[in-house]
């Protein structure tokens, strides 16, 4: 019996030794790697992971702002890269992002640059899927110095700017070096600088993806103002012309300087957003040039032509600086800057270095092939600026409803920061009301947009339904797309109600009215039905307070 027990113990020991030896040999032979697919090749395993990630809710957090693949078409490719649509790069990463020739993408931030597609030395790919382009957010984060991590359990990629450089923009930047400056043109003897600046900045905002030439004749002669080409104009006139879909049209269809225009031409683009940068906010101006393209601005010019050489202009260095009390009389386009451009280049003594690089409309014989430098210390440069920040194709909406073709002429309010306004329109067919357009008259404007169906007067205001809300950081003209479209029937009256609150304002609502300016002699104030309210409860006809139209538009798609 004792021997039997000894044999049993011995057998157990042998079995344990055998099993241990087998296990160790198995490790040496990597047999354990077959557990849960561990021995699969990356070409097999990675697509399985990507399929799993893409089948669920994918979250992407960029600089603390969260996106999901339900709202933005992010996806993981078969090499386990998170692919990001190029169309949101500029806003998501607060960077400059532009596609050249449909083959390469240049992304710039701080002093870093990332090149994708053709010409990329590290093989970073630019992928096209339909009309959308994609790049790897993994590669982009590495190239721009972002810290990136992927949480597989929560299906969340997080990337954040790790640069010690707090400035988004470099100390020197020139759109000419990026192929993003429009054609240098010559206004001749006409007072059309405002329109040349507007069209040139607009053209720049579309480059390099599109290289177009818009008609200055059409902007100056086929608008809603009572002016001719010798009278001059200002940036608000160009804004009204573009916001009202009166243009732009191609230069080839309405050429400059022939004294004729064709008011029947349809716009070839729909300008849906124009931001106003006020108060010599140089950092915001630079960021707008960096991200969007040329910025229209004003200065006081003592120059009369390309041959002028007055006291404020150094013809040898193409450098201009006016110090004085005169108001702006000339519009140009800021296409870059140089923080280290020496003060010694100017004819007047200055406190420091630095200048904006500006495109003029006096032909290539002026300055450096039509371009010159304006000191940061110039009295007027950077005081009033327009950036063209959303330019759509003409298929974005089917119809525009409006009664403010002269645009933002004045402001209305109740001596406080907020006001309600409403414009009433009649549907021309069975449509879906999908967006509203209006002006933010100051920075950090809060807004709420409502729609009322079957509008029939004062009682209808109780039936307003919220369609959108948000905050606008800069003044300007904006188009706000609705969260859900509102369906209307042909002949139905509907109202778009706008609530705005502009910090520090006493008259926050933009209006069109006859200010007495000769340019507004023909303004039409009978084409609108508008209402205002201090509380959003009791509304009054806007014409009983001021003979004017409210600057509130509606956009619709056919059903």
Element (H, E) at 48: helix 42-55
Element (H, E) at 13: helix 2-28
Cα dist from 429 to 123, 211, 495, 522, whole Å? 52, 36, 15, 29
Query: In terms of C-beta density within 10 A (0-12 exposed, 13-18 middle, 19 or more buried), how is residue 487 classed?
Result: middle
Start-to-end CA distance of the chain, whole Å, equals 96
In order, the DSSP letters of 276-325 are EEETT-HHHHHHHHHHH--EEEEE-----STT---TTEETTTTEE---SS
Sequence ranges of the domains in the chain:
2-39, 45-161, 172-388, 397-558
In order, the DSSP letters of 118-152 are TT-TT----EEETTEEEEEHHHHHHHHTEEEEEET
- CA 138/CA 83 separation, integer angstroms: 8
Position 163 scores a pLDDT of: 85
- CA 480/CA 498 separation, integer angstroms: 11
Position 486 scores a pLDDT of: 98
Q: Kindly report the CATH class assigned to 397-558.
A: mainly beta
Q: Kindly report the CATH class assigned to 172-388.
A: alpha beta
Half-sphere exposure of 530 (CA within 13 A, CB side): 30
CA angle 110, 113, 119 (to 5 degrees): 170
User: Considering the entire predicted model, what is its pTM?
Assistant: 0.89
Position 8 scores a pLDDT of: 54
The tens digit of pLDDT for each residue in 320-364 reads 999 999 999 999 999 999 999 999 999 999 999 999 999 999 999
Residue 356, helix vs strand vs coil? strand
Ranges under pLDDT 70 in the chain = 1-40, 304-309
- CA 338/CA 355 separation, integer angstroms: 6
Position 165 scores a pLDDT of: 77
């Amino acid at each position: 019996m004792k021997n039997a027990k000894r044999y049993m113990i011995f057998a157990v020991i042998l079995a344990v030794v055998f099993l241990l030896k087998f296990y160790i040999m198995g490790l040496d032979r990597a047999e354990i790697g077959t557990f849960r697919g561990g021995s699969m090749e990356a070409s097999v395993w990675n697509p399985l992971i990507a399929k799993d990630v893409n089948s669920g809710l994918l979250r992407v957090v960029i600089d603390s702002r969260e996106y999901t693949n339900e709202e933005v078409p992010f996806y993981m490719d078969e090499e386990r890269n998170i692919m990001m649509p190029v169309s949101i790069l500029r806003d998501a990463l607060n960077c400059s992002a532009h596609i050249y020739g449909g083959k390469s993408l240049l992304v710039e931030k701080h002093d870093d640059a990332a090149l994708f597609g053709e010409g990329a030395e590290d093989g970073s790919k630019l992928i096209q899927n339909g009309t959308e382009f994609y790049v790897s957010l993994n590669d982009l984060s590495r190239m721009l110095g972002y810290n990136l991590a992927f949480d597989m359990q929560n299906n969340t990629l997080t990337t954040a700017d790790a640069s010690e450089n707090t400035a988004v923009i470099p100390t020197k930047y020139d759109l000419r070096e990026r192929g993003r400056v429009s054609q240098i043109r010559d206004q001749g003897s006409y007072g059309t600088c405002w329109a040349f600046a507007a069209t040139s900045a607009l053209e720049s905002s579309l480059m390099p993806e599109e290289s177009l030439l818009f008609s200055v004749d059409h902007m100056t002669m086929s608008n809603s103002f009572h002016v001719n080409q010798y009278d001059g104009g200002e940036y608000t006139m160009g804004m009204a012309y573009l916001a009202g879909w009166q243009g732009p049209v191609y230069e080839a269809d309405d050429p400059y300087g022939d004294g004729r225009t064709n008011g029947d031409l349809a716009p070839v683009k729909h300008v849906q957003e124009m931001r106003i940068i006020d108060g010599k906010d140089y950092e915001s101006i630079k960021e707008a040039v960096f991200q969007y393209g040329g910025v229209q601005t004003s200065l006081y010019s003592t120059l009369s032509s390309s041959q002028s050489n007055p006291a404020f202009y150094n013809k040898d260095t193409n450098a201009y600086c006016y110090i004085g009390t005169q108001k702006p009389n000339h519009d140009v386009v800021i296409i870059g800057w140089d923080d280290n451009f020496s003060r010694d280049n100017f004819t007047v003594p200055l406190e420091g270095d630095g200048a904006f690089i500006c495109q003029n409309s006096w032909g290539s014989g002026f300055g450096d092939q039509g371009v010159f430098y304006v000191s940061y210390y110039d009295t007027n440069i950077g005081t009033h600026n327009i950036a063209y920040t959303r330019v759509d194709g003409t298929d974005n909406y089917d119809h525009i409803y409006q009664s403010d073709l002269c645009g933002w002429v004045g402001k209305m309010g109740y001596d406080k920061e907020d006001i309600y306004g409403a414009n009433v329109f009649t549907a021309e067919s069975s449509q879906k009301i999908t967006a509203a357009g209006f002006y933010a008259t100051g920075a950090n404007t809060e807004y709420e947009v409502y729609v009322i169906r079957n509008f029939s007067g004062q009682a209808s205001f109780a039936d307003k339904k919220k369609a959108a809300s948000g905050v606008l950081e800069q003044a300007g003209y904006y188009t706000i797309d609705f969260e859900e479209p509102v369906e209307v029937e042909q002949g139905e009256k509907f109202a778009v109600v706008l609530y705005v609150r502009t910090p520090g304002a006493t008259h926050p609502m933009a209006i069109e009215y006859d200010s007495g300016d000769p340019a507004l002699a023909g303004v039409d104030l009978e084409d609108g039905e508008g209402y205002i309210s201090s509380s959003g409860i009791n509304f009054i006809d806007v014409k009983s307070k001021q003979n004017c139209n409210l600057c509130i538009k509606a956009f619709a798609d056919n059903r």
